[in-house]
Structure formats: structure tokens, C-alpha cells
Structure 1
Amino acid sequence: MLAALQTGVKGGKWHSLIDKVSRPETLGLGWIQVERNAGAAGVDRMSVERFAQGRDCYLAELAQALRDGSYRPQPVRRVYIPKGKGQRPLGIPAVKDRVVQAALKLVIEPIFEHEFEPRSYGFRQGLGCKDALREVDQYLKAGYCWVVDADMQSYFDTIPHASLLAKVGNRIADGGVLGLVQRFLKQDIMEDMKRWTPMSGSPQGAVISPLLANIYLHELDVEMREAGLVMVRYADDSVVLCRSREEAESALARMRAWVSANGLTLHPDKTHVGDCRVEGQGFEFLGYRFEAGQRWVRKKSLMSLRDKIRIKTKRNEGNSIGYVIAALNPTLKGWYGYFKHAHRFTFSSIDGFVRRRLRAILRRQKHRPGQGHCQRDHKQWPNAFFADLGLFTMHEAHILARQSR
């Protein structure tokens, strides 16, 4: 059933979809995705583990509620997670609602995926950040060095509900599905003892939100392509690559007009046009900074990694240094796997920071004050000492990668 949806007539509208969402097999597939992603409990305090214990009963209840129209999602629990120097709100739906959202996404995503532009990379199966960065690299090398760095202000929180529902309705005519989407958009938000209904936006953390975000910006993707412009987008993070200042200024004006007409806002301080070949006129995209012919890791990404390293290498760490290294390596390998195309000096700097943190632990374990910076520490615990314990070093990984090309 789900595979058949992908062969839908382009430009057509879809009817009779709510029965696909409520099917036990669809809800079962949705549950598998929710279980795989785990995550915290919602306002009802039902954990993924508890849902698993009564899975068949809960899925049957959801199927019946969807069929008879009595299904109503519970409020979203709001929490805050660190973002730079501030915090970002995150909505945590109840597990039952995550299952329904996953089932809904399974049914309607193929309809829109059939239409999405090839330069839209965010939250799409088989595509990711590395693909978007690869395309940006290709156009920069081809001379598209005038870049519009566009930042949408609080995008997920400001998507107009009526406009979003209209865009979904351009492809879907099933009132049950449209009503379900609307109910998810209008889910009350609970924070501490406060409860309110959002007037705009789609909560980050909801299963359906990434798809809805892509649906809303799809028309912008189409407009830019039809204007002959190269826009690479990952969710609300996008860059337009141009061959001249005039083309870039025109692209920015076109984008401003579309964004304004669709109830959104470009961040006044984070949106600009520049020649990325010139120092000081670079742009940031998906964790990297492109400037003066180089690709650097942006400062925020470096700071975030250092914070993670600090957490895993506290000086009062009671475990053996081998245990600390084993716990730290996955973080280092994962970060390197994404940023391996950055400037080589970045890796040496991080490796040095890691070893200093480890030496500080060893000093503490020997009841010696200090932070692992002195020459004596380096002689007592040289780089080879940590290599023998299996410490992953980015500089060595970078050298091996270059040699294998």
C-alpha cells in the first residue's frame, strides 16, 4: 500500500487516506520507528518501554480512535536544550501521539517526496548533510562564489498554520488527514504548570514536523529553480550560489519577497551576500565556514565538541584512563566522520586538547595539581602512551585518509 503511493499521478490530489493511516500494519510500522528512536516520555509519563509492554492493546485503541474520529492528541511537553549560549525549545509528544504521527508520515510523505526538489536535502531518506555540502563544494569549484547566506528567523516556531494546511491541501483532499495535521499543529503545549495553544509553528521534536517544514518551503525551492538560481537547502538552512554580485542581490530580493509573502522572516543580522573567495565575506552552512578558498569548522561546532570532551574527561574521573578513552572515542570518531574535510590544523588542535585533558586526569589520580600542560607531563605520558591505549586521533586519521585517495 505504502509503496503504491509513490507512483501517484504528479499534480494530482489524494483521497481516502485516513483509512491507510489507521490500518494496524501502518501503525505497527510507525511504532517500530518510535521504538527505534526511543526518547523521553510525554505529559502522560508513558515511556517507550511501557508502551512496548502493552503494544498490541495500545495500537488497537489508536486504530479504533482514528477510524471513529475520536482520536485527539495530548499536549506536547516542552523542555529546553542547549543551543550555543542560549537554549532551544523542544516539544516532546506522548508516545501514542508519536506513533500516530509516524503512521501519518508513512502515508503522506511519499506523495510529497515525489514532488520535492533534488537540492532539498534535509530530513529526506537517502540524503543528508554530506550530500548538501558536496553539492555546495561542486558549485564553488565551478565559480559560483557569490553566495546568499539566508537565515530564517525562528522558522519552526513561526510557520503560519493556515498557509501550511493550504499547501498540504494542494496534494491531499482527505478531510480526515487534513484534520489530523491540524490537530497536531494545534496541540497544546505544557511547560511546568502552564498550558497554551500555539497560533503558529510546528514543534521541533514532533515526528511530523520535518516533513511539514519541507512541504512549506517546497514552493520556494521551485521558484528559485525556475528563476535559474542554485539554492541548496537543508531544512531552514539554505545558501544560494551565484556567479556575480548582481545575480546574488537579485536572488536575495526574490527570496525576501517569497519569505515575506508567506509569513516568514529572514534574520536581519544573519542574512547577507558575499564573495566567499574574500576573507571576511565567507558563509556558514551545516557546521562549516567557507571562506577564502578554505573550508573551516565553524567556531560554534568546535566549542560544542570541546564541551562534550570536557564532560567526558573531568579531572575527578574515578575510572581508569583506558575506560575514559573507550568512552571518548565514539564522540571523536563521529565528529571526525562529519568534519573530515575541514582544514588539517583543526584536527591537530583537537588532538592536543584531548591529550591535555587526559593528562590532567592522570595528574589528579597521582595527587598532583595542574592541568596537564607542563613538559614533564608530556614526557611521562607522551602521545604514544595514549595511542597504545587506543585513543582515536583525528590528525592520524586525516593523514591515512589522504594517503588512501
Structure 2
Amino acid sequence: MSLLDEVLSKNNIEAYKKVYQNKGAKGVDGVTVYEFRDYLDKHFEEIKERIKTRKYKPSPVRKVYIPKDNGDKRGLGMPTVIDRVIQQAIVQVLTPIYEKQFSETSYGFRPKRLCEMAIIKALEYFNDGYDWIVDIDLDKFFDNVCHDKIISLILKTVKDGDLVLLIRKYLVAGVMENGVVQETKKGTPQGDNLSPLLSNIMLNELDKELERRGLRFVRYADDCLIMVRSEKAANRVMDSIIRYIEKKLGLKVNATKSKVARPKDIKYFGFGFYIKPGQDNWRPKPHIKSIQKFKRKLKQITKRSYSISLAIRIQRLNYVIRGWINYFRIADMKGKMKEITSHLNRRIRCLLWKQRKTCKGRYTRLIRLGVSKIKVKELNGSRKSYWNNSMNPTIHIVISNKRLKANGLVFPLDHYTKVHIEL
């Protein structure tokens, strides 16, 4: 059985189930994953025959833009559902083959590998004395992949010409933006199922070159850190590796963003690094920009102008809190979580106190909870802002931590204590 036959086998083409789970936006045909299930059952044999006779033509991807943290926008290519399914089927057959070739210190888009594994390996190198970092920034990597180069690399491993031709068809399928189809002479669209594997095939060449030179590195997708023992060695490595990337791989390096740095000066997938006072080992922490982004999300959900019920507000807060802390579970941040928990609870108290808009409503509630009439009158007559009043001990009685937990709120400090992995 050829590799293409494996890709198109009925069991493998059930890859649509993964596409269904991942959902994703519509492609240029406007078909959703929900509408596709019946279509696949009816037309599977026809699709299979068109691919095997080389008559199948992938549709252009639909270009969409999502905001980046720095204010720029990242372009994503959304394939049609049928193309996502076929690409996923290709990935499922080729991944086990390439996994045997990929580097042990490459972590992005690979089975059973997490970003935190790259962070842990980087820390291991830092603490072994390799704490001068060559931070290479590839300029718009996915947009600049040379089609001929990636196909030549695939041909070294994949000897099935029909399958390689199908992959090339996806590379040149084109992009539709504002109703106009544009040719794709280079690059592989971020957002499709095939690009992550193709990016690893391309950058595996860089991994092997670094290994050949005996260099220590970690790579997650197109973000690569090379670790050496001295600033002089780092500058030398950066110059030679930039030449290799640009001449041998045909990629572009952003010279203004690439740099030689110490661990404390870099941000790697949201993590920063520091040395505890009195110790000599590097430790992980969330980068200050990651903390700020987390706080902005919590602030957005707890805005008084954000008109939703308390139950939905807590549900959305819990989703953000669990997701963010789970991602940074290996980081040192107990003090920061204590601070954020206190601030979050105060914002919720402020919010709930303002919602009790009339003095009569507040008076009744406070008296029912056993607060003295004198304290109730003092609070109701206060000219302080809602924010300042949220620190009043009486309000803490009405809206206690225990009551917030009873309403289902996940406290950041509690969740961090629960999931934290000490390194």
C-alpha cells in the first residue's frame, strides 16, 4: 500500500473527527464542519478518485487577521473543511515517520510535547553554565518558506510522488482576500493543518546543523534559543547561524529583533527568568508582559459596565484563571497570585456593592446579616468611592471570601497552589 493509499484509507480519512473537534472558521466555500459530515459520507469515493488521478484541486485559503499583543495583526489562512480533512489525514500518516527524525530539543507542534518542556530544558542549559543566549528572530517565517526547498526536503523521506504532488498543490492553492484570489509563490499559511508539520520539516534542517556543531538549543516552532557559555561565543554563533539560515534555508532573519542576551532579558513563550536572592540557579516566572495581559483580561470581565449576571461573570473568570495558571504552572508566582487574588476579590466586591443601588436595599441586607445599625448608617452615608468602600470591613462581612467561593469563584492563589509543579 502506498503512502497516498494510507492517507485515503477510510479509517484515516475519519480525520474529519479531529477537524470537527477543533471546529475552526469557515473556508472560502462557507461550509462548516457540522454541514460537512453528511457530505463526506456521500462523496468520499469521488473525492478519493479525484485525488488518486491527480485531478483534485484544493481551494484557496480564506485570509483572516487576528490581533497580536504588540498591536499588529497576524494573517491566518482558513482552508475549506474538505481541505482541512485531507490535510489532517496527510499529517496523521507522515507524523510517525518524521517523529523519528526530529530533534529531542524541538517541542512545537509535536505529539506529547508541551511548551513547558522547552522552558524546563532551557533552564537546564542555563543552570549548566550555558546562560548566554542567541535569540534568532525569523522574519515572517510562515510567509517566507520556499516551496521548492520544502518539497526537496520532503522528497528525501517521502518517495510517493502522488502524495508529494498533493502537498505541493496545497502550497500553491492561493489565498482569497476580500473576494480576490492571489497566487502563493512562497510560504505556507498559518491556520491550516499541514503547516505545523511542514515548518518542523524545514526547521529540522536548522536543528541538525546546530547538533552537528555541538550547540545546545531549544526550539518551539519558529522560536529558537541557542545557549553558549560566553558573550564572545554567542556573537560568533549568531553571525554564522544567520548566514546558514539565509543562505542554506532561504529564510529571512530579522536583524533588529535578533540579539545576544542573558536569561533575565528575554521573553520566551510568555516566560521570564530570574535568580532568587541568595541562590545561583535560574528560575522560571511569568514575564511582566504576561502578567499585565492576564490582569487586563480579569479587568475586562469585572468591569462595572460589562452587563452580565454574576454566574456568567464567574464562569468567564474561572475559564481565564484556570487556563492562564495551568499554562504557567511551573513558574514561581505565589506572591503575584496572592496579590492578584486580593485585587480581583476587591473588584468583585466593588461591583456587587454598586449593584445594590439603593440605600434601603443595602440597609435591609446588612441588618439581615447582623451588622449593627450604627455601622450600616456610617456605610450608607459614606461619600467615599465604590472602590474605596470595597475595603470597608462591613462590606467584607456582606461579600466575604467564603461567599465568593460559595458562588463558584476560583481564587488564583488557590488554583496555583493546586496545580503548581515545583522545579
Q: Is 1:163 aligned to 2:181, yes or no?
A: no
For residues 59-70 of structure 1, the aligned pairs below 5 Å read 59-70=44-55
Partner in structure 1 of residue 256 of structure 2:
269
Amino acid across the alignment from 1:395 = L
Partner in structure 1 of residue 56 of structure 2:
71
Q: Is the contact between residue 65 and residue 74 of structure 2 (CA under 8 Å) also seen in structure 1?
A: yes
Q: Is 1:286 aligned to 2:269, yes or no?
A: yes
How far does residue 159 in structure 1 lie from its aligned partner after superposition? 0.9
Q: Is 1:342 aligned to 2:306, yes or no?
A: no
How far does residue 294 in structure 1 lie from its aligned partner after superposition? 4.5
C-alpha distance in 2 between matches for 1:294 and 1:130: 13
Q: Is the contact between residue 131 and residue 229 of structure 2 (CA under 8 Å) also seen in structure 1?
A: yes
For residues 121-200 of structure 1, the aligned pairs below 5 Å read 121-200=107-186
Q: Which moved more, 1:37-46 or 1:362-371?
A: 362-371
How far does residue 313 in structure 1 lie from its aligned partner after superposition? 2.9
Partner in structure 1 of residue 348 of structure 2:
358
C-alpha distance in 2 between matches for 1:403 and 1:186: 45
Q: Is 1:100 aligned to 2:86, yes or no?
A: yes
The TM-score normalised by the length of structure 1 is: 0.88
Partner in structure 2 of residue 53 of structure 1:
38
Q: Is the contact between residue 62 and residue 71 of structure 1 (CA under 8 Å) also seen in structure 2?
A: yes
Report Cα offsets for 1:355-382 as digits up to 9, x if no partner. 3442343244223899853144553134
How far does residue 400 in structure 1 lie from its aligned partner after superposition? 5.4
Gap change, CA 1:247 and 1:403, over 3 Å in 2: closer
Q: Is the contact between residue 24 and residue 60 of structure 1 (CA under 8 Å) also seen in structure 2?
A: no
User: What 5-or-longer segments of structure 1 have no aligned partner?
Assistant: 2-15
C-alpha distance in 2 between matches for 1:52 and 1:104: 19
SS at match of 2:226: strand
Q: Is 1:367 aligned to 2:357, yes or no?
A: yes
Amino acid across the alignment from 1:269 = T
Amino acid across the alignment from 2:290 = S
Q: Is the contact between residue 321 and residue 358 of structure 1 (CA under 8 Å) also seen in structure 2?
A: no
Amino acid across the alignment from 2:410 = F
C-alpha distance in 2 between matches for 1:155 and 1:223: 18
Amino acid across the alignment from 1:287 = G
Gap change, CA 1:356 and 1:82, over 3 Å in 2: farther
RMSD, aligned α-carbons: 2.5
Partner in structure 1 of residue 103 of structure 2:
117
C-alpha distance in 1 between matches for 2:152 and 2:106: 21
C-alpha distance in 1 between matches for 2:406 and 2:167: 55
Amino acid across the alignment from 1:298 = H
SS at match of 1:157: helix
Partner in structure 1 of residue 291 of structure 2:
302
How far does residue 230 in structure 1 lie from its aligned partner after superposition? 0.6
For residues 233-248 of structure 1, the aligned pairs below 5 Å read 233-248=219-234
How far does residue 184 in structure 1 lie from its aligned partner after superposition? 0.8
Gap change, CA 1:285 and 1:395, over 3 Å in 2: same
How far does residue 246 in structure 1 lie from its aligned partner after superposition? 2.8
C-alpha distance in 2 between matches for 1:370 and 1:328: 27
Partner in structure 1 of residue 408 of structure 2:
390
Partner in structure 1 of residue 205 of structure 2:
219
SS at match of 1:123: coil
Gap change, CA 1:296 and 1:403, over 3 Å in 2: closer
C-alpha distance in 1 between matches for 2:189 and 2:353: 46
Amino acid across the alignment from 2:26 = A
C-alpha distance in 2 between matches for 1:157 and 1:63: 30
Report Cα offsets for 1:207-231 as digits up to 9, x if no partner. 0000000000001101111111111
C-alpha distance in 1 between matches for 2:344 and 2:137: 33
How far does residue 401 in structure 1 lie from its aligned partner after superposition? 6.0
C-alpha distance in 2 between matches for 1:198 and 1:402: 45
Gap change, CA 1:290 and 1:184, over 3 Å in 2: same
Q: Is the contact between residue 218 and residue 226 of structure 2 (CA under 8 Å) also seen in structure 1?
A: yes
Aligned residues: 386
Amino acid across the alignment from 1:374 = N
SS at match of 1:211: helix
Structure 1 or 2, whichever has the larger Rg, is 2
Gap change, CA 1:387 and 1:241, over 3 Å in 2: same
C-alpha distance in 2 between matches for 1:225 and 1:136: 15
C-alpha distance in 2 between matches for 1:48 and 1:251: 47
Identical aligned pairs, as a percentage? 31
Gap change, CA 1:140 and 1:20, over 3 Å in 2: same
Q: Which moved more, 1:317-326 or 1:333-342?
A: 317-326
Report Cα offsets for 1:156-188 as digits up to 9, x if no partner. 111111111111111122221111111111121
How far does residue 304 in structure 1 lie from its aligned partner after superposition? 3.2
Q: Is the contact between residue 153 and residue 202 of structure 2 (CA under 8 Å) also seen in structure 1?
A: yes
Partner in structure 2 of residue 229 of structure 1:
215
Q: Which moved more, 1:65-74 or 1:320-329?
A: 320-329
Gap change, CA 1:241 and 1:206, over 3 Å in 2: same
Gap change, CA 1:326 and 1:105, over 3 Å in 2: same
SS at match of 1:169: helix
